[in-house]
Amino acid sequence: MLNILPVSSFKDMIGYTAKVFAMVLKISCPNCNQPVAPNARYCPNCGVDLALAAALAERDVVAHTVVPPDLASLAPEALVPRVGETMLERGILTPEQLQQALDYQHQLQLQGRPRLLGQTLIDLGMVDRETLDQVITLQIFQLQKALQDSNRELEQRVTERTMQWSQAVERLTELNRLKANFISTVSHELRTPLTHLKGYLELMAAGELGPLTNEQESAIAVMARAELRLERLIDDLIQFSLVSRGELSLNLSLVRLDDLGRAAVLQLEPKARAKNIAVQTEIPAPLPGVNIDEEKIGWVFTQLLDNAIKFTPRGGLVLLSLTAVDDLVTTTVRDTGIGIPAERIAEIFQAFHQLDSSSTRQHGGTGLGLALARRIIQAHGSEIEVKSKEGQGASFSFTLPGARQAADQQPELALRGMDESN
């Protein structure tokens, strides 16, 4: 178990949280609290499935994190008796006299002549000024004491709640790492049998294992497409686990985005052709080279184009455009698809989340693509901008610095690639 550090202020809370994230390599089993290896799938002590235990424990942590109550109950003035009550307690007034004074005060209020209770008592001759001053002075002392008590109680509550939230942050950080490790381990384990499937499918498709009938060729083609889809899903999961564990690094080199864009379009043409979707490009020449991680930005191109094709009805249009202004190169992918409701645009970048999560949804996928694409673009010092209206298509764009600007930013980008993935 991680040690719980004392937290006495919000400043301490910030420092404490930083220490939590610095200790993510130290993980304990959610079930038995014994130490486990970062990449373990099962606890060696109790045998529990760590990913399943982490998911259940995460829900329990969130459900049992105490929400601070309404602190209005700590208002000190609510703890101090009123003037009339104080005079009753000290025998200065009788209940009948107090009621008479309150009735008279109410009559004055109705006549548009509001008056404080103390002055009303003086007007009725029930108390003198000296007695009233003594009562008010006593109330001031009582208010000061109540304020001190209230501050102490408030400080104690803040300390308790801060400690609870700190422990929840610590536990959730640990559980998230267990889940990311599970995703990485399972994804790598899936690659081995998938490689065997792919190899034999290619051999059969090439006729190396004997002649095939037309029906068999069609069946193998379907299986090959399914294998390719599984391969892409596994790659997405591996990339996500790397990002989740802060292992996103950039291998920067000078690249021409026009070549990268055309390669992505060429790769996805069969999928677009199957839906009778036209994929067009607007790429002026020449474009300045950009200093980027070619593999990761190429993956982002493919992801954005694949999404555009996926959510565009048959007979639609997908457009990839590249523009250069003042050594800045902007990439935009537009489509004539189903669009995104304006109030839900932020949701599309949430990992494992899809806008249509019903059992009858028409579009597959893990819900990881855009979340990973955003992280990669952020690591390059940019952001993905989304413009869309429901039923009117969508536009995704990001801007990267040309080689001249990127050379000045390269040390910063290397750091950002590490920091922003956390």
Q: What pLDDT score does 56 carry?
A: 60
Using 70 as the pLDDT threshold, list the residues of the chain that sit under it.
1-26, 38-39, 41, 48-81, 179, 240-247, 351-367, 403-422
The Cα 25–Cα 39 span in angstroms is 10
| Helix runs in 245-368, H state only | 257-274, 294-310
Q: What pLDDT score does 170 carry?
A: 79
Q: What pLDDT score does 405 carry?
A: 58
Q: Which residues are CB-neighbours of 315 under 8 A, at least 6 positions away?
A: 276, 277
Tokens 């009582």 correspond to: 142
Q: What pLDDT score does 382 carry?
A: 92
Q: What pLDDT score does 132 carry?
A: 85
Q: What pLDDT score does 422 carry?
A: 40
For 322, phi then psi, to 5°, come to -125, 130
Instruction: Give 340-387 as a DSSP string.
Output: --GGGGGGGGSTT--S--STT-S----S-HHHHHHHHHHHTT---EEE
Tokens 């979707």 correspond to: 277
Which overall architecture, per CATH, does domain 252-419 show? Answer: 2-Layer Sandwich (3.30)
Q: What pLDDT score does 403 carry?
A: 67
* Residue 1 · residue 174 · CB < 8 Å: no
* Residue 243 · residue 373 · CB < 8 Å: no
Going from N- to C-terminal start, the domains of the chain cover: 185-244, 252-419
